[in-house]
Amino acid sequence: MKREWLPPALMMILIVALGAYSEAHHSTFLSKLNLNSLLLEAMPLVLVSLGQACALLVGGFDISVAALMTMCVVTASFTMTPTMSGIALVPGAFALVGVGLATGLFNALLIRLLRLPSIVATLGTLSILEGASLLLRSFPEGPINSDVAGALSSGVSFLPYAFVGVVVLAIGADVWLYRTRTGLALRAVGLDATSSRRLGMPTGRTIVLAFAACSVMASVAGFYLAAEVQIGSPIIGNQALESIAAAVLGGASLAGGKGSFFGTLLAATFLTEIDNVLPLFQQPTEYADMTIGVLILLALVLYQAPQLLSRARAARQRTGRLPTAGEAPAS
């Protein structure tokens, strides 16, 4: 239990530390306006990362999420035009979720029925979606209704309601994952699919649901992106690797079965914060990419350190290697 708290705690510390540092040098950081825009900016990455965490929990990857988000933006430029208003926008929004669900089921189909590794299956989906987006909009065109953006960014003080919503969702998902029978079953499938199948668990269904959830979350992220950019751009989504980075920084294991939704949310917020503060220091955004890369490597080493240490210790006991001076090797 303790080890599972390490990633969220670390992310929280980093968010606060980076915020404090920025505020000390540029008092604009903690302004209501900046905090509000930071949290709104974070929404797409937070949502897609929560979805990615589902895929990682069952031991897979979904690299098609960014292309799906682009597809959703393009779709929105057809289904949520500025001429629509109020209730007429609802079917348009559901169309995006429909695109997400269809993509998720398609990925799951490739993975379950054709037995493709998820990274290969979603790579194929990524190309198909990219091509389809470019077919529909070969350059950024088609304005998207701006009422939506207003509704999505409403909130109290600097806190957007939507962000409060995903925090509740992420915490609820973690409670489910670590405190309920079905959450345990999901982790079991991710940790050891063979044993889970032997125990009579529906491993196939679990994997299908995880990938469907991943794509649906990505389509909601796409919805936010559409509201943000307000034009049908075919080249907008690029959060695939960032979403994996956020899930891993948040505590997900690449081997499956481990992860934290709340940690993922914090990590996605932190990654957005890096992007947010760099302009304050007049630093180019390339540094953000490099920082993220270094952080992932550090996090992986840190999170796995206890395991690596205990493995090394066990190996030493077994083999009698690396004895300290004067100590006889264990038999």
Partner 1 sequence: MSIPGPVRPVVLSLRGVSKAFGAVQALRDVSVECRAGEIHALVGENGSGKSTLLGIASGFLAPDEGTVEIGATRLRRASPADARRLGLGIAYQDYSHVLDLSVAENLFLAVPPHERPAYRSMDDWAEKTLAPFELDIPVAAPAGSLSLAQRQLFEVAKALLTRPKVLLLDEPTTALGPEAVEQLHALVLEQARAGGAIVYVSHRLPEVLAVADRVTVLRDGVAQGTFDAASVSEGRIVTLMIGRPLEVAFPERRAQDADEEILLSVSGLHGERFGPIDLAVRRGEIVGIAGAEGNGQVPFLRALAGAEQASGSAECDGRRLDRSSPLGPLRAGVVLLSGDRRGDALFPMLSVRANATVQVLRRLSHAGLVGRRGERRAIESLVQRLRVRMGSAEQPVALLSGGNQQKVSLMRPFLRGDVKVILAEEPTQGVDVGARFDIYEALRAKADDGVAMVVKSSDPIELAGLCDRVVVMSRGRIVEEIPRDELGERRIVEAIVGSRRRQASAT
Site residues (CB under 8 A) for partner 1, limited to 250-309: 257-258
Backbone angles phi, psi at 266, to 5 degrees: -65, -40
The answer to whether the CB of 6 falls within 8 A of the CB of 251 is yes
Of 131 and 329, nearer to partner 1 (C-beta) is 329
Amino acid at 5: W
Q: Is 23 in the site for partner 1 (CB under 8 A)?
A: no
Q: What is the DSSP-derived secondary structure letter of residue 39?
A: H
> From the list 3, 25, 32, 198, which residue makes contact with partner 1 (rule: CB under 8 A)?
198
> From the list 28, 146, 195, 285, which residue makes contact with partner 1 (rule: CB under 8 A)?
195
CA torsion, ordered 155, 161, 162, 164, to nearest 10 deg = 130
> From the list 191, 229, 235, 278, which residue makes contact with partner 1 (rule: CB under 8 A)?
191
Cα gap 159→32, rounded to integer Å: 9
A 10 A CB-CB count for 212 gives 21
Q: Is 200 in the site for partner 1 (CB under 8 A)?
A: yes
Using the rule CB under 8 A, give the single segment among 17-25, 106-114, 124-132, 199-207 that binds partner 1. Answer: 199-207
Q: What is the DSSP-derived secondary structure letter of residue 113?
A: T
* Least distance between partner 1 and beta carbon 331 (Å): 6
Cα gap 240→229, rounded to integer Å: 18
Nearest to 149 by CA among 100, 215, 93: 93
Cα gap 222→306, rounded to integer Å: 37
Using the rule CB under 8 A, give the single segment among 64-72, 94-102, 129-137, 192-200 that binds partner 1. Answer: 192-200
Q: Is 197 in the site for partner 1 (CB under 8 A)?
A: yes
What track of x and - describes contact with partner 1 for positions 154 through 183 (by CB under 8 A)? -------------------------xxx--
List of residues contacting partner 1 (CB under 8 A): 179-181, 184-185, 187-188, 191-192, 194-202, 257-258, 315, 318-321, 329-331
